[in-house]
Chains A and B, each alone.
Chain A
Amino acid sequence: MRPGSPFPRRLALAVALVQTLFPLYWALVTSFRRGPQLFSTAPFARPDFGNYRQVLSDPSWWRDAANSLLSASAVGVIALLLALPAAYALGRMSFRGRGVILALLLGCSMLPQIAILSGLFTLISRLGLYNRLGSLIFADLFFALPFAIWLLAGFFRDLPRDLDEAAMLDGCGVLRRLTLIHMPLIWPGIVATGLLTFMNCWNEFLFALTFTLSDSARTLPVSIGLISAPSRFELPFGIIMSASLLATLPPIFLVLLFQHRIAAGLTAGAVK
């Protein structure tokens, strides 16, 4: 590709950026508006945090946020703890059955959530875990664990082989090799995997909607998905937009802070 004339290029890039940012910007403008101001189509609004105050003064919002934070962090940590040894075995050792396990993991990550929904739903109800945060954490591992193993195995595999040889000559056991030699080297990969898992769970809707019915175990996406107009003449869009933006802040911060790591993780997940 030869560089075309710079103007069409810049224009195309500008269009791409505007269509990326406009929905978020318009949500911000709407979140500053209340009552009849919501009908306004003026592209600017004076910052008015009334809607935010209303959302944040609701104790149920804080409970939903705590549930989201707790479940997403728990899934991230549990997935990493279970995935690290498994990924080490798959990435650094060669053994009979390795290919089968890798194929099974790939198959698992291709399964849609609804494939296990019916069985999991009856199982969770029978165990009495329905409407508990624990059931959501357990269910989320369904997509988080294969993803984490797959990603980490790739990072482990990319480390040079000589490392193992040298460590073995020094009499290092598997666990010490994993924790002292390999983990510090793939630290960026571990961070990327943890962040991506956290974001996936933070944004997850299907399991959260299915396994938590009442307020006590509800997460933010579910409560935002369920907000509806209290009456035909009331427009809750200001509230919906401020709640939506508040729920979007953590993933947006993570992307802006760790853009390189996340991009590397996403690319590795698809290419390897």
Chain B
Amino acid sequence: MLRGSLMHKTPAWRPWALLAPALLTLAALVLVPLVQTLHLAFSHDPHGFVPARAGATLENFRILMGDSGWWHAVRTTILFALGAVLAETVLGLGVALLLQKLDTATRGIVLAVMLLPWAVPGVVAARLWGWMLNDQYGIINAVLLDVGLIRHSIAWTAGPTGMLVVMIVVDIWQATPFMTLLALAGLQAVPTDVLDAARMDGATGWQCFRHVTLPLLWPTLIVAALFRLLDALRMFDLSSVLYGADMNGMTLSVFVQTQIVQFGAPGYGAASALATLGVIALVVILFWRCVTVTRRGSRS
């Protein structure tokens, strides 16, 4: 009611005047390049000394569909994003449950320390792990050899699978703090009286978690996981710094950037960028359907 009475007094142009500077900047920054990208995607690229032909074409998309490098990048990106987000959600929740038991002062300190990897630039994270996983001088091989878990040094990033797993591991190191933070915020919002009531009724720790805490926490968790998923699907830094332009470890963002900058093919790059948007949309929609169906299932 208060809101209604207040709003009548606001002239209609006022919010738009406040919004205008930001919206105009965004229009120049998003709309113009996006239209330009759309236009480029349906145009021919110049080849060497041959200038680009005029007229709209589907050529870029036709080549893209037959480009095995592209399909490999699609596979790498999807497996990376799903693997990383799943692991980060589970680990983040686990760490949040551990932190919740600490007193406030200790929790603050531990949380600050745990946030450090999240603050590290992606490039630096790739460099640190690349060095630790170095096949000849890396500390990880050295420790495993010392303990006797392996007999020979392992070349961690020699094959596509290894490359994928290494990217997931580095991403877990960097992004789990984010999930921990959000899970902790969600846990603190769970009302204690509900838990107390469940305990009075004789529920065990696991039952309390499974039937009280988790359902209440679920909305927070899936929103956080969705944010992470969107982020992971556009990952660029780790793949680019660890593997350069190596097709075996290339994500979609690296594929597009390489086409535009290294191969000087803005049209092909634009077409692959649009196709990437399609892949991301598809994965996000499927993810959302899965988690909402799971939720309905767990309620019944």
Residues of chain A at the chain B interface (Cβ within 8 Å): 1-4, 9, 12-13, 16-17, 19-21, 23-24, 26-27, 30, 38-39, 41, 82-83, 85-86, 88-90, 93-96, 98, 101, 108, 110-123, 138-139, 141-142, 145-146, 149, 161-162, 164-165, 168, 174, 199, 202-203, 205-206, 209-210, 220-222, 224-225, 235, 237, 240-241, 244-245, 247-248, 251-252, 254-256, 259-260, 262-263, 266-267, 270-271
Contact = CB atoms under 8 A, between A and B. Distances in A.
Given A101-B23, A149-B22, A262 B115 contact: yes
The 3 closest A-B pairs by CB, nearest first: A119-B36, A119-B33, A112-B234
Contacts of A199: 119
Given A27-B128, A116-B33, A145-B22, 17 more contacts: A1-B97, A17-B110, A83-B22, A89-B15, A90-B19, A95-B16, A114-B276, A116-B37, A119-B33, A119-B35, A164-B6, A225-B240, A244-B127, A245-B124, A247-B124, A259-B108, A266-B181
25 contacts: A13-B99, A27-B128, A39-B137, A41-B143, A85-B18, A93-B10, A96-B12, A101-B23, A112-B233, A112-B234, A116-B29, A119-B34, A138-B29, A145-B22, A161-B3, A161-B6, A174-B18, A203-B123, A205-B121, A205-B123, A209-B240, A224-B127, A254-B119, A255-B112, A259-B111
Interface string B103-131: 00000101111111111111111111101
B98 A123 contact: no
Interface of B: 2-3, 6-7, 9-10, 12, 14-16, 18-19, 21-23, 25-26, 29-30, 32-37, 39-41, 94-95, 97-101, 108, 110-129, 131-132, 134, 137, 139, 142-143, 146, 173, 177-178, 181-182, 185, 199, 204-205, 208-209, 213, 220, 223-224, 227, 230, 233-234, 236-237, 240-241, 252-253, 256-257, 260-261, 266-267, 269-270, 273-274, 276-277, 280
Classify the interface of chain A: helix, strand, loop or mixed. Answer: helix
Given A13-B110, A114-B257, A248 B120 contact: yes
B280 A112 contact: yes
Nearest to A2: B205
Given A27-B131, A205-B121, A224-B127, A117 B220 contact: no
Contacts, number: 288
Nearest to A83: B22
Contact of A248 (B15, B115, B124, B230): B124
B87 to A, nearest CB: 13
B113 A114 contact: no
A237 B138 CA distance: 11
Counting chain A CB atoms within 10 Å of each CB, the highest count among B19, B121, B125, B270 belongs to B121
A118 B137 contact: no
B240 A255 contact: no
Contacts of A116: 29-30, 33-34, 37
